[in-house]
Structure 1
Amino acid sequence: MFLLLGFSDLSLAAQTSLFVFFLLSYLLSVIGNSLIMLAVTFSPRLRSPMYFFLKILSFSELLLISSTVPKALHSFFWVGRTISFIGCATQFSIFIAAAACECYVLTTMAYDRYMAICQPLRYTSVMTVSYCYQVTFCISAIAIVNAIIESFLIFRLPYCRSHLISHFFCDIPPMMSIACANTFIVEVYQFAISAASTVLPSILIFCSYIKILTSIFLLRSAESRHKAFVTCGSHLVSVIIFFGSAMFVHLRLDNPFSPYEDRMLALSYCVIIPTINPLIYSLKNNEMKETIKKLNLKIIDLY
């Protein structure tokens, strides 16, 4: 058994505020991402590859936040702070798979925008339905294999030093900090995998957006430029927050951050991103807004 300390070192007022924040964020994330998935699934207007990958992104975010926040909410109460070895390993595996999937989906969405804006004549021939399903299968397979390998390396370590995890979920840095064995090989592998999942996609996204922005400025229509900026801007905001915080936490061989700083950084990609992404992708997208409004009216009519 492990004991998730969560935010027990903070004052009661701070813990109460965080509990409310976690609860509201989780509810908003579940509602927002579920609405996006339903809208894309049942609306004929949202059948483009961009919305297909947005649905996959929403699903991965639901997995990400559902693997961490419910147990974090439970850990605010003393009786809910314990987590079994199997439970910790399961939570860790789902979290790693969902996070890796989100990295690759965000990269694929950047490629989709690159093809749509920079090579519009080839877009329909390249971004076919079969291609989207093939990419999704590859992303899922890589994410699952990565999660299995990382889970094996982390949970084969002996944990005889302490059973106290200074975090609100079973993440890599706090797990390695309580292992009573040499973790250098695990740290090197984790660094390499994190670099492959964050740095390489970030470079690809950055290169894509250089070409995208160049093409946008060459568009003659002001309306077309505005639409392209809105579509790409929402995606870029998600990329910066998610990849930035993930790199800070996982791309290091030593441990320069305190447990408190690790928890605050983890909040950004575990809680904040899955909560604000539905807003980012729907508020400035007229097609998505109209579809969600119609979907909400249908749900209300059912009741």
Structure 2
Amino acid sequence: MGDQERAGVLVLAATPIGRPADASPRLGEELADADIVAAEDTRRMRRLASSLGIDIGGRVVSYFEGNEEMRTPELVAALDDGARVVLVTDAGMPSVSDPGYRLVEAAVEAGTRVTSVPGPSAVVTALAVSGLPVARFSFEGFPPRRAGERARWLDALAGEERTMVFFESRHRLASTLTLMSEAFGEKRRAAVCRELTKKHEEVRRDGLAELARWAQEFQPLGEITIVVSGISDAGGAGGPLTVSMTEAVAIVEDRVAAGTSRKDAIAEVARELRFSRRELYAAVVNARTDTT
């Protein structure tokens, strides 16, 4: 048997983000033909296979965040021996904000062929139904868990021109939308997409401040994807910046002179002019230092 015939293959197989019926026929074929199925949750994967009427003939192993480092060399060795390894996560495409990148990186480094079974994606689905610009977008994944770090992280994205897509836990949704409202502006257009493709699917479209109030009051459940318009979206963010940082600092100083606290003045101006609060604060401090 030649090297080409013995070569293993790593298959990244997308699974439904909601309804099992969204699974592609090829997903079933790959699960049935795999030598090894590596699954983020083996029980969930077996339930999906059962609902699709698929018999998995190969070995099933777990592959999740807690054992990626330990399991990767084992799977790479199997690939080197000629195995066809199918990697699936709980929903969507492996390695995209899910386990898999470490294995893909190792497989590529080992010279193994890596392919995929395309399928559902919460990122693209949320973009499509959001009603926001989709020509250019960035996927930002899950924001940091700690509120302070999350606020600084969002501040750094305040000038992003592309539409942004985030994942978030239902437990932090209201807090994150509030921080987004502070960092990007209360009226910045956004969409909260909940339980996409499932029975209780809901897409809520509004300004960030209104969405934060809604999330606080109703505490929505389920899998959540947030889509936020970029700063260049004239329909919701007010168009590109037309005020320089020096002019913004002057506006802050005028408000402080009128009686507003410096902290509040910086927050207000950053929100209104769509500057990063952190960058505006640094500019204000530098300006005061230069004049002393």
Is the helix fraction higher in 1 or 2?
A: 1
Measured against the shorter chain, the TM-score band is under 0.3
Q: Which has the higher contact order (CA 8 A, sep 6+)?
A: 1
Rg: which structure is higher?
Answer: 2
Is the strand fraction higher in 1 or 2?
A: 2
> What TM-score do you get using the length of structure 1 for normalisation?
0.22
